[in-house]
């Protein structure tokens, strides 16, 4: 199996599990929040259901990214993975706004939480499950360089952190009489959502605009080729394609060099570059006669 496609399939599987887990957590938290009158539990539940939609978008993006290139998308569908991350981040912003509105209403009219022990147990369990799932997603996302799954992992960490905040907010409101803490906890959850969304929007937008995460990479590739093959490199261009990179290297050669001789150099350059820079999925090596310099 192609290792790159394996990454998409593994990521797709963990994203599907994430959808089901988050739906369960969200329903449980909203139910407990409505029964007990805890706005932070409801906010965390809405956040979890929203995150399940985000995970579904991530899953869909990873599934679409595996499609082979065709006449319409001749470079493949890999950028759909980055586009999915952008859509997921925008969805998270909408969830954050919804929570802020309802938390503000509760802050202006705080009420005593009922069945607070059950609410805290639910929030605590949600935190443990979310953090465990986040560590799994982050490990896979970092291994295969999947931006949308990295967004999902950050979202899961945020989800677990939000549940922890919710737990202590209910604790403070119940045992210390600080009723407003329930609403303040919900506002803190919204702040978490906005911070994660900002990073996700920025990173996915840069990739969709062909911005390199590592601007020094072309210089590193140039130095490597010149040292390894003893040739003179004039330009190196690299662009991201989802989790992969496409590159173009322009090599200066003697005007008397034959096509077969250059093809041998180009094949060797391509082989060593892909071996030493595994994220480079496609590489084009072109020639530029030294006489024209």
Q: In what order do the strands lie in the sheet with 232-241?
A: 232-241, 244-253, 280-289
Spatial contact of 158 and 48, defined as CB atoms under 8 Å apart? no
Average pLDDT, the chain: 85
Question: What pLDDT does 287 receive?
Answer: 85
What is the CATH T-level fold of the domain 217-292, as seen in this structure? Answer: Alpha-Beta Plaits (3.30.70)
* pLDDT above 70 coverage of the chain, percent: 96
Q: Are the folds of 3-208 and 217-292 the same?
A: no
Q: What would the two tokens of residue 165 be?
A: 């905040």
The SS3 call for residue 199 is helix
Domain ranges of the chain: 3-208, 217-292
The model's pTM:
0.70
CB neighbour list of residue 235: distance below 8 Å, 6 or more residues apart = 248, 249, 250
Number of C-beta neighbours around residue 33 at 10 A: 26
Tokens for 36?
Answer: 């007990």
- The residue with tokens 């639910």 is 122
Q: Which residues pair with 241 in a beta bridge?
A: 244
Could you read off the pLDDT of 119-151 as tens digits, one per residue? 999 999 999 998 888 888 888 888 777 766 777
pLDDT over 90 percentage in the chain:
25
> The domain at 3-208 falls in which architecture?
Up-down Bundle (1.20)
């Amino acid at each position: 199996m192609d290792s790159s496609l394996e990454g998409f399939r593994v990521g797709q599987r963990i994203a599907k599990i994430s959808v089901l887990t988050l739906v369960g957590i969200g329903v449980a938290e909203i139910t407990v929040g409505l029964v007990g009158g805890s706005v932070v539990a409801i906010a965390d539940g809405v956040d979890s259901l929203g995150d399940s939609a985000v995970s579904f978008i991530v899953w869909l993006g990873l599934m679409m990214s595996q499609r082979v290139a065709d006449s319409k998308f001749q470079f493949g569908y890999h950028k759909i993975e980055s586009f999915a991350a952008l859509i997921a981040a925008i969805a998270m912003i909408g969830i954050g706004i919804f929570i802020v509105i309802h938390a503000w209403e509760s802050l202006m009219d705080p009420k005593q939480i009922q069945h607070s022990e059950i609410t805290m147990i639910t929030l605590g369990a949600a935190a443990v499950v979310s953090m465990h799932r986040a560590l799994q997603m982050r490990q896979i996302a970092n291994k295969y360089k999947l931006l949308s799954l990295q967004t999902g992992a950050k979202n899961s960490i945020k989800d677990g952190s939000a549940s922890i905040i919710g737990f202590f907010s209910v604790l403070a409101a119940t045992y210390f009489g600080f009723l407003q803490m329930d609403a303040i906890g919900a506002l803190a959850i919204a702040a978490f959502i906005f911070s994660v969304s900002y990073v996700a929007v920025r990173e996915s937008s840069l990739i969709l605009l062909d911005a390199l995460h590592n601007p020094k990479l072309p210089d590193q590739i140039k130095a490597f080729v010149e040292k390894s093959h003893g040739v003179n490199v004039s330009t190196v261009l690299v662009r991201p394609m989802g989790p992969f990179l496409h590159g173009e290297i322009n090599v200066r050669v003697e005007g008397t060099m034959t096509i077969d001789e250059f093809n041998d150099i180009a094949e060797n350059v391509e082989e060593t570059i892909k071996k030493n820079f595994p994220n480079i999925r496609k590489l084009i090596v072109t020639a530029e006669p030294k006489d024209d310099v």
